[in-house]
Structure 1
Amino acid sequence: MRVAAFMLFPLVYKFNNTHTLKIHIHIMHLFALLTNKGKVWSCCPKNWKSFSSCCYFFSTDAKSWKESQENCSRMEAHLVVINSKDEQDFLTQNMDKKAYFVGPSDPDGQGQWQWVDQTPYNQSATFWHPGEPSHSEEHCVVINHRPTSLPWGWNDVPCKHSHRSVCEMMKIYL
């Protein structure tokens, strides 16, 4: 890392003395931050929202579940995998009162829900609306809002219907 900092200095040297000093100070400050043990910077791509160790993209256009997953994949992400109530709450706080595709599906219609990233499906960490899942012909899941005691929850829907979606990726660490 020291070599990199010294390699940058000759490039800066071509500016007048005032600019050289300011840029050198910024470089040294950045170098100190990056080499400081225990300090890690994380970030998300532009227009993504940060929560815990992940970044989330809330689409504004409606697509099928498959098209939504393909869209996430093009961004090097996947449909969101929800692991906790805190994560579910974060998601719903960032949603319009629309339906959003999320990562579980039941491709065979046998009630064998699975996450898009192969995370084991944990029945105790699900947020189904009362009475859901309700139809063996509905193989995909949306989070949607209902005017009930549990306003936000999961609903099984046909995969070919068009809804917004939420993509998830790990944060980028520096």
Structure 2
Amino acid sequence: MTSEITYAEVRFKNESTSLGTKSESPAAPKEKTSLHKSNPGFPKALLPSLLILLLLLTISFFIAFIIFFQKYSQLLKEKKAIKEVTHTELECMKENLTMKEKDWSCCPKNWKSFNLSCYFISTDVKNWTKSENNCSAMRSHLLVTKTKAEQDFIIENLDENRAYYVGLSDPEGNGAWQWVDQTPYNASATFWHPGEPNNPLEHCVILNKPSRRSWGWNDVTCEQHHRSICKMMKIYL
């Protein structure tokens, strides 16, 4: 009798333990559920930052695309301009050149050839700025000359009754003369008429031949209308 009671108590206790375990087990998912509910808050806090980052990346990409497109368009324009100058009616001469695989030196038709350069003598009259823009449109610049040989060659092809803009100017009006191609101005290698330059209000330079005088440079106001001389490097083929 006693052993049966003891067994029953032991059995009851075992069942109680078993039931206790079962009763506690449903509480566990509550903790999991609470943890599960706390997780969505974490990405929600990051969402605005991610959106801002995505927006910044989109803007950066858009700006980079615009810059690339502009540079590409400019490159196409330059290539087109070079092609027009290089391949439209060139006049070439066979020369003994040291440049590898280059046998011909060329200038555009109606341009004058001298040493390594080509020269275009315009018959249109414009102010200094428009004259320089006209040269730039032909992939050249207003005349830059530093040697007497080049100066003598140029004047042989000019009309004595006309004046021609060259690429020398003093944009600040302080006597700081400068060439359009950024070549340093050398005061000892110039061709000014005697007494020139003589007016601080005259910021541009023409090449002319006054009556009973030789060719030389004279400073003038940049708005005067004169002919011009363009210069470019020869094209080698």
Aligned to 1:138: 202
Alpha-carbon distance between aligned partners in 2 of 1:39 and 1:64, rounded to the nearest angstrom? 38
The structure richer in helix per residue is 2
Q: TM-score when scaled to structure 2?
A: 0.56
Alpha-carbon distance between aligned partners in 2 of 1:114 and 1:155, rounded to the nearest angstrom? 15
Alpha-carbon distance between aligned partners in 1 of 2:180 and 2:199, rounded to the nearest angstrom? 20
**Cα deviations by residue, 1:38-84 (Å, 9 ceiling, x for unpaired):** 86210100110001100000000100000000000000000010020
Aligned to 2:171: 107
Aligned to 2:228: 165
Match of 2:188 among 105, 111, 124: 124
Supply the RMSD in Å over aligned alpha carbons: 2.0
Alpha-carbon distance between aligned partners in 2 of 1:93 and 1:123, rounded to the nearest angstrom? 24
Instruction: Name structure 1 gaps, 5 residues minimum.
Output: 1-32
Q: Does residue 123 of structure 2 align to residue 60 of structure 1? A: yes
Match of 2:217 among 144, 154, 159: 154
Aligned to 2:109: 46
Number of aligned residue pairs: give it.
140
- % identity of equivalent residues: 63
Amino acid at match of 2:158: M
Instruction: Name structure 2 gaps, 5 residues minimum.
Output: 1-95
Q: TM-score when scaled to structure 1?
A: 0.76
Q: Partner of 1:156: helix, strand, or coil?
A: strand
Alpha-carbon distance between aligned partners in 2 of 1:47 and 1:158, rounded to the nearest angstrom? 29
Alpha-carbon distance between aligned partners in 1 of 2:200 and 2:215, rounded to the nearest angstrom? 22
Alpha-carbon distance between aligned partners in 2 of 1:157 and 1:52, rounded to the nearest angstrom? 29
Alpha-carbon distance between aligned partners in 2 of 1:137 and 1:170, rounded to the nearest angstrom? 32
Larger Rg: 2
Deviating above 2 A after TM superposition, structure 1's stretches of 4 or more consecutive aligned residues are 37-40
Alpha-carbon distance between aligned partners in 2 of 1:39 and 1:79, rounded to the nearest angstrom? 27
Q: Partner of 1:123: helix, strand, or coil?
A: coil
Amino acid at match of 1:114: Q
Alpha-carbon distance between aligned partners in 1 of 2:192 and 2:145, rounded to the nearest angstrom? 12
Amino acid at match of 1:140: C
Amino acid at match of 2:110: N
Q: Does residue 162 of structure 2 align to residue 96 of structure 1? A: no
